[in-house]
Amino acid sequence: MAKVTGARALVDCLLREGVDHVFGIPGTQNLPIMDVLRETPRIRFVLTRHEQGAAFMAYGFARATGRPATVTATEGPGVTNLATGIAAAFRGFVPMISVTGTQEDWVRERDASQEMDQVSFFRPITKWAYSIPSATKVQEAARKAFRVALTEPVGPAHLDASRDVWLGETESEPIAPAAYRTLTEPDCSPAQLDRAMAVLSEAERPVFLIGGGVLREDLIEAVAKLAEHSGIPVASLQPTADAFPTTHPLALGTLGRNGFSSANRTVPRADLIVAVGARIDVFSTTFKYGIISSTAKIVHHCPVPDHIGVVYPVSAAVTGSTASFVAGLAQRVERSGRRWAWVDVAKLRAEWEAERRAQVRADVEPISPPFVAHAIRKVVPRNGIFVLDGGNASKHMRVHWEAYEPRTYMYTDDWGSVGAGLPMGMGAKLARPDRPVMCVEGDMGMMCNIGELETAVRENIPVVCVVFNDQGLGNERGWQIELYGGRIFGVDYQNPDFGALARVFGGYGEQVTQPGELEPALRRALDSGKPAVIDVIIDKETLAPVVYRG
In CATH, the architecture of 360-537 is 3-Layer(aba) Sandwich (3.40)
Collapsing DSSP to helix, strand or coil, 49 comes out as coil
Q: Once rounded to an integer, what is the mean pLDDT over residues 193-206?
A: 98
User: 531 with 461: CB under 8 angstroms?
Assistant: yes
How far is residue 59 from each of residues 11, 243, 361, 380, measured CA to CA in Å? 20, 18, 35, 22
Burial pattern 224-251, b for ≥16 Cβ within 10 A else e, equals bebbeebbbbbbbbbbbbbbbbbebebb
Q: What is the pLDDT of residue 150?
A: 97
pLDDT digits (tens, 9 = 90+) for 88-138: 999 999 999 999 998 777 667 767 766 789 999 999 999 999 999 999 999
**pLDDT for position 157:** 98
Encoded amino acid at 473, one letter? L
Q: Which fold has domain 3-179?
A: Rossmann fold (3.40.50)
Q: Is the pLDDT of residue 143 over 80?
A: yes
In this structure, the chain runs to a length of 550
pLDDT at position 471, please?
A: 96
SS3 at position 128: strand
pLDDT of residue 413: 85
- Nearest alpha-carbon partner for 427 in 26, 18, 37, 55: 55
User: What pLDDT is recorded for position 106?
Assistant: 65
Summarised one tens digit per residue, pLDDT across range 498-544 is: 999 999 999 999 999 999 999 999 999 999 999 999 999 999 999 99
- Distance set, CA 522 to CA 144, 257, 299, 338 (Å): 45, 27, 43, 48
Residue 349 makes CB contacts below 8 A (sequence gap 6+) with 251, 252, 253, 260, 262
CA atoms within 13 A on the CB side of 83: 14
Interstrand relation of 69-73 and 297-301 (parallel, antiparallel or unpaired) = unpaired
Average pLDDT of the segment spanning 467-471? 97
Three-class DSSP category at 99: strand
Query: Angle at the Cα of 279 (from 233 to 124), degrees rounded to 5?
Result: 165
Q: What is the predicted pLDDT for the residue at 127?
A: 98
Assess contact for 177 and 115: CB atoms under 8 A: no
- The end-to-end CA distance of the chain, in Å, is 66
Question: Which comes out higher in pLDDT, residue 390 or 111?
Answer: 390
Calculate mean pLDDT across residues 453-463.
Answer: 98
Instruction: Tell me what pLDDT residue 190 has.
Output: 98
CB-count exposure of residue 354 (10 Å: 0-12, 13-18, 19+): exposed
The per-residue pLDDT for 110 is 67
What is d(CA 14, CA 6) in angstroms, rounded to the nearest whole number? Answer: 13
Give the β-pairing of 3-5 and 169-171: antiparallel
- DSSP state letters, 446-498: HHHTTTHHHHHHHTT---EEEEEE-SB-HHHHHHHHHHSTT---S-B-----H
- With a CB cutoff of 8 Å and minimum separation 6, the contacts of 463 are 422, 425, 426, 428, 429, 437, 438, 439, 456, 531, 532
Amino acid 219: pLDDT: 97
Q: Which of 133, 142, 204 is nearest to 15 (CA)?
A: 142
CATH 3.40.50.1220 maps onto the chain at: 190-347
Mean pLDDT (the chain) is 96
pLDDT of residue 104: 75
443 three-class SS:
helix
Lowest pLDDT segment from 109-113, 177-181, 383-387, 447-451 = 109-113
CA 88, CA 385: separation in Å to the nearest integer?
A: 19
| CATH architecture, range 190-347 | 3-Layer(aba) Sandwich (3.40)
Find residue 538's DSSP bridge partners.
Answer: 367
Counting Cβ atoms within 10 Å, is residue 473 exposed (0-12), middle (13-18) or buried (19+)? buried
Mean per-residue pLDDT for 186-207?
98
Other CB atoms within 10 A of residue 377 CB: 16
Q: Coil, strand or helix: which one is 506?
A: coil
User: If DSSP codes are grouped into helix, strand and coil, which group holds residue 196?
Assistant: helix
Position 229 pLDDT exceeds 70? yes
Report residue 307's pLDDT band, with 50, 70 and 90 as the boundaries.
very high
- Provide the b/e sequence for 281-313 (b: ≥16 CB within 10 Å): bebbbbeeeebbbeebbbbbbbbeeebbeebbe
Tens-place pLDDT, residues 320-367: 999 999 999 999 999 999 999 999 999 999 999 999 999 999 999 999
pLDDT at 414: 85
User: Phi-psi bin for 485: left (phi > 0), alpha (psi -120 to 50), beta?
Assistant: left
Q: How many CB atoms lie within 10 A of CB 426?
A: 32
What is the rounded CA–CA span in Å between residue 289 and residue 153? Answer: 26
Q: Is the pLDDT reported for residue 424 higher than 80?
A: yes
Cα–Cα distance measured from residue 210 to residue 242, given in angstroms and rounded to the nearest whole number = 10
Start and end residues for every CATH 3.40.50.970 domain found in the chain: 3-179, 360-537
Q: What is the DSSP string of 225-278?
A: HHHHHHT--EEE-GGGTTSS-TTSTTEEEE-STTS-HHHHHHGGG-SEEEEES-
Percentage of residues of the chain with pLDDT beyond 70: 99
Q: Are strands 44-47 and 21-24 parallel, antiparallel or unpaired?
A: parallel
